[in-house]
Structure 1
Amino acid sequence: MHHKQILPTKVCEHCQRPFSWRKKWARDWEQVRYCSERCKCEAKKTR
């Protein structure tokens, strides 16, 4: 079992907030760039 203190973290490219690893991202953690679908959609709109 993971403890929240040792989970890897990244910074969202859109909102610049830190977010932690989630089980649903286990297979593609290296490609995850945004903390949520909302940030992903907003980033696409601003391009």
Structure 2
Amino acid sequence: MTVLVEDDRVVLVPPPGASAVLSAQQTRSLGLVLDQAAGRALDGAAG
């Protein structure tokens, strides 16, 4: 998977045909990580 941070956006690009099955805890963890990435993207855009 490729993670791109551009301006104030975080883009996840999985390989073609890829899928994921996440538990509730994994979904919460992913949400936290994406929030952190978005915050860093905003910090980078401001600085």
TM-score (norm 2): 0.29
TM-score (norm 1): 0.29
Q: Specify which structure has the bigger relative contact order, considering alpha-carbon pairs within 8 angstroms and separated by 6 or more residues.
A: 2
More strand by share: 2
Structure number with greater Rg is: 2
